[in-house]
Amino acid sequence: MAKSTHFYELFQPKHYDIYLDINRETKQISGTSTITGNASESKIAIHQKYMTITAVKADGQAVPFTFDDQSEGIHIDLNQTGETTVAIDFTAPLTDSMMGIYPSYYELNGEKKQIIGTQFETTAARQAFPCVDEPEAKATFDLAIKFDEQPGETIISNMPEVKTENGVHYFDTTVRMSSYLIAFAFGDMQSKLTTTKSGVQVGVFATKAHQAKELDFALDIAKRSIEFYEDFYQTPYPLPHSWQMALPDFSAGAMENWGLVTYREAYLLIDPDNTAFDLKLRVATVVAHELAHQWFGDLVTMKWWDDLWLNESFANMMEYVAIDAIEPTWGAWDAFQSGDVPMALQRDATDGVQSVHVQVEDPAEIDALFDSAIVYAKGARMLVMVRALIGDDALRAGLKAYFAAHKYGNARGADLWSALGQASGLDVGAIMNSWLEQPGYPVVTAKVVDGQLTITQQQFFVGDGQDAGRQWQIPLNSNYDAVPTLLKDESLNLGDYQTLRQTSGEPFRLNVGNNSHFIVQYDDTLLQDILANVNALDEISQLQLLQDLRLLAEGRRISYAAVVPLLQQFADSKYTVVTSALYTVAGNLRKFVTPDSAEEEQMKAYYDQLSAQQVARLGWTPRASDDIDDELSRPTVLSAALFAHNTKAVAAAHDQFTANATDLASLPAATRPLILANEVKNYGSETLFDQLLTAYRDSTDASYKADLCAALTSTTDAALIAKLIAVFEDADTVKPQDLRAWFRGVLANSKGEQAAWDWIRNDWQWLEDTVGGDMEFTTYITVISRVFRTPERLAEFKAFFEPKINTPGLTREITMDIKVISTRVNLIKDEQTAVNAAIADAVK
Ligand SMILES: [Zn+2]
């Protein structure tokens, strides 16, 4: 297909006057979009989607127009160029798609209510009002909104309201901004407000179905994040207010609309009296992520969607920089190392993965760009690499210059590299291009050959991969002085190993700090040296060792059976990053055992052995002396003991359940999902199931609901599994935004796998109709690829998805997931016997 023309090239808007009349009752939007701008051609095009256009006028005169569904616009013949004002009258439906202008549903005191919100990124502003819906088409906007308003209702938007006349709410003119960042919300709301040191009003908004105290945590984080960024970026927050709004129905996690950030309720509202620490940290980093975008993304925006990574990678890094700065004891970077890093390394090892920077034109393909493991996690890792290379002083100086040069405008990746390069004196662009433009990452092999220590880079694959001879400029971060900062060539001889070893006095290591995007394969001499001194390693280095061994085993460069005997020595670590890395490896071993087999019993015994001492140390009840590592490790090790079916652990969880039976929500949030699931699995009944399902329907606490979902989907009873499948399409029970978690829960349950797989194949069309417009729609396929492990399932997966392979936005996911499943099937076939023998050996 020929490169499509961006509408911005034909017409450059300067200012919009937008009038909207929204009726919840009739589900109709009508309005006028009046756009003043410069026509560079006499025939221009304006985006619209799903609209009825009733009239188009240019400078007051009716002009001809035609629809063009393919490019989601209308073509207008102006018959002239230059400064023009185009007024477009339209009507549009208000749909439940969670895109454009849409209702969110909730209940308050038994009454069904709705709140209207917006989600325009990437290409849905064109469903709300006709516009040039491209990030480069920045303009100022005057919004005037009327709706079927009830007493006590509130409306908020990017800018403060200036007046209400005849039921129309008028908002102050925005700064120059992109259409995808426009937002508003109205309905019956509660809010809490505060002010930053510099005078920015900060607020958190939610429906009244929540307790007021649930707004406090996010309000405090939002205020302090803005104060942090104003200082770190040396650039003031550009708007009078920063509202955070929780919407009951929300397809993504959160959206950085300028001045009115919208969130899934789970990522904004926190019960301060009973929330697991990891969820608090998650909410804090999500808020900090969206607020990082207020500058990086909103003030300076990517020129086109191919540079989406510029927004997301940066915000993903800054969420950790910010939270680590404002709450240094929370271990924000530990969460990065345990979450984003393995996610990026796993996905980026599959051949066919996208590069961080991707050329893209088709709107359906733009949404498919949001591969969170790549654009967010790998991209953040790239920037962490840059930060480690140039240091914070140069980073801040570079950013300040970048914002000053491009504010209220657009930029490309090269503009950021050049700003950081000027501030640091390094050719940042040259180093980063190898990471940005190439998919995948290298494994660096370190070997002693004829007494010489040599390192070599080669692309790392999990599964078949075509070696395209890719090379990277790799920041090596070695603990040996003889090693250069960067590996720019394929291989390097570092000199006589014995001399180097004696001089340094410690085992040879690369990627110390685990901040560069590569893994290391040490030869036996070097690995044994590291393992003999493993207790001297800090926790990140231990995590890294476990993570690299796991990936090398997944990539068939070492055998999984060889990894098994190494695990026990990490089992009693007090560091949660080590415990989490350990159980990630252990979790990967579970694919080698068939459910309900003798091998699975052996695996359970192995889990029991790994977890025994930690379970004894940490127990079920939080202690006053717990530090954050203890708090985070406790559910991990207890979960291992429950998988092991340790009788004491099963009984202890049951006791906790019984003691809290009248108020299950008050169970300690960190262990609540384990206790509830244990009860369903080991003491379950239809009565309990129905009780938990009712609690799910009634609760507004997102974290409790997630726990109930995990418990309900773990049932082993076929009749109850059928009941679960039956609620998948009942939006009054399972909101479409939460359905993926339910589907994943049932699919990952060996007793529910068949039913969940049948459901998605039978009702694929319903799923596509319901959540197909969602940016994360493809992750329904990803979820399946994480579970399937047999040749039969691989064949069924192919039979179902291969015919869909040319669906826009699905091609890459289907191709990669076939590879992921077939790689797993082959690995199990080849190594199952050896792994199970190693487990039997390890169980004393
Ligand atoms: Zn983001």
pLDDT digits (tens, 9 = 90+) for 112-169: 999 999 999 999 999 999 999 999 999 999 999 999 999 999 999 999 999 999 999 9
Whether the CA torsion 170, 175, 178, 182 is positive or negative: it is negative
Residue 731 has pLDDT above 60, yes or no: yes
> Which of 328, 283, 286, 289 is closest to 311 using CA atoms?
289
pLDDT digits (tens, 9 = 90+) for 816-836: 999 999 999 999 999 999 999
Q: What's the gap in Å between 292 CA and the centre of ligand 1?
A: 8
Q: What is the pLDDT of residue 1?
A: 33
Whether the CA torsion 91, 96, 102, 103 is positive or negative: it is positive
The pLDDT-based confidence of 368 (bands split at 50, 70, 90) is confident
Q: What is the pLDDT of residue 4?
A: 61
pLDDT digits (tens, 9 = 90+) for 737-748: 999 999 999 999
Q: What is the pLDDT of residue 776?
A: 81
d(CA 483, CA 508): 10
Residue 2 has pLDDT above 70, yes or no: no
Q: What is the pLDDT of residue 772?
A: 84
Contact present, 291 and 229 (Cβ < 8 Å): yes
Distances in whole angstroms, Cα of residue 176 to Cα of each of 16, 256, 312: 11, 16, 21
Q: What's the gap in Å between 556 CA and the centre of ligand 1?
A: 34
Residue 513 has pLDDT above 50, yes or no: yes
Q: What's the gap in Å between 138 CA and the centre of ligand 1?
A: 19
Q: What's the gap in Å between 286 CA and the centre of ligand 1?
A: 9
Q: What's the gap in Å between 3 CA and the centre of ligand 1?
A: 27
d(CA 117, CA 122): 16
3-state SS assignment for residue 453: strand
Distances in whole angstroms, Cα of residue 294 to Cα of each of 201, 750, 756: 14, 44, 40
pLDDT digits (tens, 9 = 90+) for 58-111: 999 999 999 999 899 999 999 999 999 999 999 999 999 899 999 999 999 999
Q: What's the gap in Å between 376 CA and the centre of ligand 1?
A: 8
Q: Span 736-765, mean pLDDT?
A: 97
Active site residue 776: no
Write down the catalytic residue from 121, 134, 290, 319: 290
> Which of 540, 226, 232, 231 is closest to 392 using CA atoms?
232
* Full-model pTM: 0.97
Axis crossing angle, helix 791-801 with helix 779-787, rounded to the nearest 10: 160
Q: What's the gap in Å between 122 CA and the centre of ligand 1?
A: 12
Round to the nearest angstrom and report the end-to-end CA distance of the chain: 63
pLDDT digits (tens, 9 = 90+) for 209-244: 999 999 999 999 999 999 999 999 999 999 999 999
Q: Span 385-408, mean pLDDT?
A: 96
d(CA 305, CA 542): 38
> Which of 359-368, 746-755, 806-815, 821-830 has the lowest average pLDDT?
359-368
Share the mean pLDDT of the chain: 96
Give the DSSP letter of residue 337.
I
Q: What's the gap in Å between 244 CA and the centre of ligand 1?
A: 14
> Which of 627, 575, 579 is closest to 607 using CA atoms?
579
pLDDT digits (tens, 9 = 90+) for 295-335: 999 999 999 999 999 999 999 999 999 999 999 999 999 99
Q: What's the gap in Å between 214 CA and the centre of ligand 1?
A: 23
> Which of 46, 43, 42 is closest to 13 using CA atoms?
46
Q: What is the pLDDT of residue 445?
A: 98
